[in-house]
Amino acid sequence: MASDLADLLSDSAAALIEGTPKRLFIGGCWVTPASEDRFDVDDPADGTIIAGVADGSPADAIKCIDAAEAAASTWSSHSPRSRSDILMECFHAMHRRAEDLAVLISVESGKALTDARAEVSYAAEFFRWFAEEAVRIPGDLGLAPFGTGRIAVQHQPVGISLLITPWNFPAAMAARKIAPALAAGCTCILKPAAETPLTALALAEIVHEAGAPPGTLNVLTTSRPAEAVKVMLDDGRIRKLSFTGSTSVGKLLLRQAAEHVVNCSMELGGNAPFIVFDDADIDAALNGALTAKMRNAGETCIAANRFLVQSDVYEAFAAKLAERMNRIVVGRGRYTATECGPLISKNALEKVSTLVDQAAVHGGRILTGGGTLESDGYYYPPTVIADVDPGSEILNREIFGPVAPLVRFDSEDQAIRLANDTEYGLAAYIFTRDVQKGLRVADRIDAGMVAINRGSLSDVAAPFGGMKHSGIGREGGTYGILEYLETKYISISW
């Protein structure tokens, strides 16, 4: 494990946490809940408590809706250009505060500082992208087929938006929702994950200072998300729900949202296949595997979850992957040498460890990793398991950890069958030198996103989202803003 003898960053990290707001952000003000309740945020590197954050109640949730409602008509009548200018200022402000934000993300989520820095830049790009989109909201004017009039189509803000974000990308997932919501002219309520509220509060400060009027963005931190979210969805004024998180919670929210027919975007779990054909450039495939598996210690919904490798290159790929994974430096996220930080929680650690143990019991060969690391933190060693039994739980669950299970295949058809043998359909990776084969396989894979000869997919300019149980709707790209707009047709007698 990595260690810096003098933890030079620890004092500045403590000062940073001290200086980050810890109250609710409602109607442009930092608000203490009436109960004065707080919940603890811990450092996954050692389990110590790093901050106490305001614990919003269902009553506070309703205050957030009141504030968003009060600001709605002012914000939607702001010109697109002025909305755009505010979002562009958020982009610049994030860059000015990039290092502080990266340390904050690293401390509360545990991720390696290099991943945290990349996240800040990814998050800032959403503000820039949607600043550009705010002034390009599309519309249409057409002639009715029988010449009876004109068909005008315009888009208007869908209304108050509830944005629920996960802990694995506390800045990027919040930015990917806040920026298009504000660009479209919607006011919103952000409910960040209880594990990583500090980054969300720092972002609220940035959006506020960039000039977003009071009530346009409200932040509800809470340790009782189920209660607070239910109250908001039952209220009837929320018109949009955008959720990133697990499929099981997504399904529950869809049921709750049905009562008031709330417009939903759902970015849910994944079980990405990483397919290596025997004609692939093996070094490129290994580099891609490391990226697709180890970004954020494997805690991403698009992480390669199952490595399907063609028989002729199977043993060589497995051995080289094990060798590369074995060299990864595990340690506290903000140590400079760290490549893989701790997992988010003790529960997460236990889940990953159980999945690996079960796979081994069913005949999987652990080529590197497995077992436990001596630490108070939630560390799991980078692990490669070969010959995983097709019935193993690890091939059917989102691992969310630094573990690569390998399965052998012989033919293209078999690879596709294995790849699609899951309820999920978020991401897939294909490595082959045969471009036609790559495109043919990409067509037949049930996934919202497919990478060919690349280990990364995330791009603010691309539509991010899944098929099947992986979700509904797309975030980012030119599609992202449409999720916050409602289409209106006006029939005109010209």
**How far is C-alpha 273 from the geometric centre of its chain's CA atoms?**
18
| Identity of the residue, 55 or 125, whose beta carbon is nearer to ligand SIN in the bound complex | 125
Structure tokens at 416: 């596709």
| Identity of the residue, 368 or 458, whose beta carbon is nearer to ligand SIN in the bound complex | 458
DSSP letter at 241 equals: E
Residues forming a β-bridge with 152: 141, 490
Residue nearest ligand SIN (C-beta atom)? 458
**How far is C-alpha 451 from the geometric centre of its chain's CA atoms?**
18
To ligand SIN, the closest distance from the beta carbon of 271 in angstroms equals: 13
Active site residue 264: no
Active site residue 64: no
To ligand SIN, the closest distance from the beta carbon of 172 in angstroms equals: 6
Measured distance CA(181)–CA(483) in Å, rounded: 8
Structure tokens at 335: 């140590």
Q: Which residue has the tokens 């043919």?
A: 440
Structure tokens at 422: 């899951």
| Identity of the residue, 196 or 244, whose beta carbon is nearer to ligand SIN in the bound complex | 244
On whether the CB atoms of residues 221 and 37 are closer than 8 A, the answer is no
Strands 427-431 and 272-276: parallel
To ligand SIN, the closest distance from the beta carbon of 464 in angstroms equals: 6
| Identity of the residue, 263 or 300, whose beta carbon is nearer to ligand SIN in the bound complex | 300
Structure tokens at 145: 């087929």
* Residues within the interface to ligand SIN (CB under 6 A): 168-169, 172, 244, 300-302, 458, 464
3-class secondary structure, 402 = coil
To ligand SIN, the closest distance from the beta carbon of 58 in angstroms equals: 27
| Identity of the residue, 301 or 450, whose beta carbon is nearer to ligand SIN in the bound complex | 301
Measured distance CA(489)–CA(408) in Å, rounded: 53
Tell me phi and psi for residue 142, to 5 degrees.
-135, 165
Measured distance CA(115)–CA(297) in Å, rounded: 9
| Identity of the residue, 216 or 470, whose beta carbon is nearer to ligand SIN in the bound complex | 470
| Identity of the residue, 171 or 212, whose beta carbon is nearer to ligand SIN in the bound complex | 171
To ligand SIN, the closest distance from the beta carbon of 176 in angstroms equals: 7
To ligand SIN, the closest distance from the beta carbon of 10 in angstroms equals: 28
On whether the CB atoms of residues 367 and 266 are closer than 8 A, the answer is no
Strands 403-409 and 383-386: parallel
Structure tokens at 289: 């595997």
Q: Which residue has the tokens 């893989």?
A: 340
Tell me phi and psi for residue 152, to 5 degrees.
-105, 135
| Active-site entry in 299, 301, 340, 398 | 301
To ligand SIN, the closest distance from the beta carbon of 221 in angstroms equals: 20
Where do runs of H (alpha helix) occur along 135-277? 172-184, 197-209, 225-235, 247-258
| Active-site entry in 119, 133, 195, 267 | 267
Q: Would you name the residues annotated as active-site residues?
A: 267, 301
